[in-house]
Structure 1
Amino acid sequence: MPNILDKIIANKKREIEASCQLLGEEVAITTDRPTVSMKQALLESPTGIIAEFKRRSPSKGEIHPLALVNEVIPAYQKAGASACSVLTDTVYFGGALTDLANARSVSDIPLLRKDFIVSRRQIAEARAYGADAILLIAAALGADEIEDFTHYAHSLELEVLFEIHNIAELDKYYPGVDMVGVNNRDLTTFVTDPMLSEKVAGALPADVVKIAESGLTSINEVEQLRASGFSGFLIGETFMRHDRPGDALRKFLDATL
C-alpha cells in the first residue's frame, strides 16, 4: 500500500510529464543573476536559521493558508534568517514556483527550492525562478540520480542539500553535495522525532555542512544540535503558525542570542 511519500512522488511525476507535454522538455533560463551560497551563509551566520515559507502540509493540514511571500520573506530576512526555504509543491503544500520568484524579488539572502525533485526539469526551474539551492531527498531518489542531479545543479551554479531520515540512507550520499540535512520528520509516515538529528549526527561526514530539519520548536533543541556539529536549522511550522512569522522568528532569536 503506497505511503504518503509514494503518493507525492507519483503525483510529482505526473505533473512533470504534463508540463513537458504542454511547455516542452527544456526550461528557458534567461537570468544571469549570480547565485548566493547557502552553505557559506550558514557557516558565517551566528544563528544558522533557514526560515521556511509554507502554507500547509500533509501532516498538519492548513498552517497559514493566506500567507503572502512578499510579506513573510522580507520579515524573515529582517529578523535575522540566514536563508529561506520556499515550498513550491502545490497539491500537498499549497506552494508554487511563483512563490519562489516572488521571494527572490523581495530578498537577497539564499533561497532553497523545497520540493520533491525527481527530474532535471525541476532543477532548471529552480534556477530560472530564483533559487540558490535545491533539495535532493534520499528516500525519493536512487544514488545514481543524486549524483547526476548534483552535477546538473552545479552546472547551473546551484548548491545541493542532500536530505536523509536515517543512517541507512547515507548509502546514497554523494561527496559532491554541498550540505547534508537530517529530516526529523519521516516522509513516509510524517511522524516527527525532534532530536533525530542528534541521534544520527555521529554518522554524518565530518567535513560536510550539517542541517537539522523539521520539528524544532525550542531554543534548547537548537543549541543542543549546534553542540553536535549542526550549522543550519530549517524551521517552518514554528514560525508560520503565527500571524506574523517574521515576528515569531525575531522572538525566537532574541531568546537564543
Structure 2
Amino acid sequence: MTAAFIEALLDARRPVIMELKRQDAAGHDLFGDRSAARLVADYQDVGAPCLSVVTGRWFGGTRELLREVVAATDLPVLQKDFITRRSHLHQAREDGASAVLLTAALLPRATLGRLVDLGLRLGLTPFVEVTTEEEISRVPRAEECVVAVNNKDIATRERGAGDLGRSSALLPAVLRGGTRCPVSAGAVRRPDDAARLLGEGFAGVLVGTGLLRAASLPQWLDGLDARLGTGPGTPRHTGPDAGHEPTPPVRRPADPPTTDTRR
C-alpha cells in the first residue's frame, strides 16, 4: 500500500496530482458552489491518477474535508498540512490518506527521518517538500518517497506568484538524491507550465488553483496533451525529447508548528 501513490503517478498518462483546496493564499474561495464530492467526480472523469487535499487552515482546510474526499474515491489521496508529530501521521492514516506532506524546511534532520520511517511503517508515502539543495540532502530513504520542489515560500504563506525556475534548478539534485518520483508543486497554473516541467524530467506535477479556476477542466488537460504530443492511447513519454517544443524557463508562518514528535 505504501507505494500506491507513487505507482499511480508513475503509471499515469497524465501525471497530474489534482488538488482540492477550499481557498487560495489570499483567502479567496476556490470551490464556489461545488461540493468536495463533485470535484472528486470531475477529477476522476478526466483520469486523475491521484488527488491532493489541503487540510491546512491557511487554505480553509479541515480533516473533515480529507475524510469527505477519501469517502468519495478509491484513488490514492495526499494530505497536505503542516505534519510535524507522530500523532499527525496516525491521524492521517485514520482519515484514509495514502500519502502525507512533510515540509523539510520545518523539520530538523532527525525529526524528518523519524517521521519518514513511521510514515512508511504505517503504509503512508512520504511526500517530502523541499526548496533548497540542503533540504534535499536531508531526505532519508528518498527512493521510497516523493520528493517535491515547492515553487512557493511558506515564509510568505505562499502568497507570492512563485518561481517555476526553482524546480528546473533543483531537479538534478532531487534526482541525485535517489527518488524515482520527483514532483514540481505550486505555481503550476497553465498547461504549458506543466508540460515544460514534465518535459524536463519531473515524474509529476501538483496543480491546485490552476485547475480549480480553469474555465474547463477537460480543455486545460487537452492543452497539456497538445503540448506533450500525447492523447488517448498514446504512451507516456517524459524528458527533454517528450515530443513537444519546450517553452522557455520562467525564471514563518504565523503560529509556527512545533517539531515535537513525542505526541
TM-score normalised by the chain length of structure 2: 0.78
Q: 1:230 aligns with which of 202, 208, 215?
A: 202
Summarize the Cα distance change of 1:205–1:194 in structure 2 as closer, same or farther, 3 Å threshold.
Answer: closer
Q: Matched residues in 1 for 2:214 and 2:146: separation?
A: 29
State the one-letter code of the partner of 2:163.
D
2:187 pairs with 1:215? yes
Q: Matched residues in 2 for 1:210 and 1:216: separation?
A: 15
Number of equivalences: 218
DSSP-derived class of the 1:126 partner: helix
CA contact (8 A) 1:63 1:241 kept: no
DSSP-derived class of the 1:39 partner: helix
Residue in structure 1 matched with residue 249 of structure 2 by the alignment: none
Q: 1:96 aligns with which of 62, 74, 84?
A: 62
DSSP-derived class of the 2:17 partner: strand
Residue in structure 2 matched with residue 252 of structure 1 by the alignment: 220
Residue in structure 2 matched with residue 116 of structure 1 by the alignment: 82
2:108 pairs with 1:142? yes
Q: 1:193 aligns with which of 157, 163, 174?
A: 163
More divergent stretch after superposition (152-161 vs 65-74): 65-74
Provide Cα deviations, 1:109-137, integer angstroms capped at 9, x if missing partner: 11000100011111111111110000100
- Structure 1: tracts of 5 or more residues without a match: 1-33
State the one-letter code of the partner of 2:115.
F
- Structure 2: tracts of 5 or more residues without a match: 226-263
Structure 1 segments (4+ residues) deviating >4 Å = none
2:44 pairs with 1:72? no
CA contact (8 A) 1:138 1:162 kept: yes
CA drift at 1:170: 1.6
Q: Matched residues in 2 for 1:205 and 1:193: separation?
A: 19
Q: Matched residues in 1 for 2:197 and 2:123: separation?
A: 29
State the one-letter code of the partner of 1:73.
V
Identity %: 28
CA contact (8 A) 2:31 2:212 kept: no
DSSP-derived class of the 2:184 partner: strand
CA contact (8 A) 2:191 2:223 kept: yes
TM-score normalised by the chain length of structure 1: 0.79
Residue in structure 2 matched with residue 202 of structure 1 by the alignment: 172
CA contact (8 A) 2:190 2:210 kept: no
Q: How does 1:33-182 map to 2 (within 5 A)?
A: 37-57=4-24, 59-64=25-30, 66=32, 67-90=34-57, 92-176=58-142, 177-182=144-149
Q: Matched residues in 1 for 2:197 and 2:44: separation?
A: 22
CA contact (8 A) 1:65 1:94 kept: no
State the one-letter code of the partner of 2:196.
Q
CA drift at 1:42: 0.8
Q: Matched residues in 1 for 2:191 and 2:212: separation?
A: 17
* Aligned CA-pair RMSD: 1.8
Q: Matched residues in 2 for 1:60 and 1:48: separation?
A: 27
Provide Cα deviations, 1:99-118, integer angstroms capped at 9, x if missing partner: 11111111111100010001
Q: Matched residues in 1 for 2:199 and 2:145: separation?
A: 21
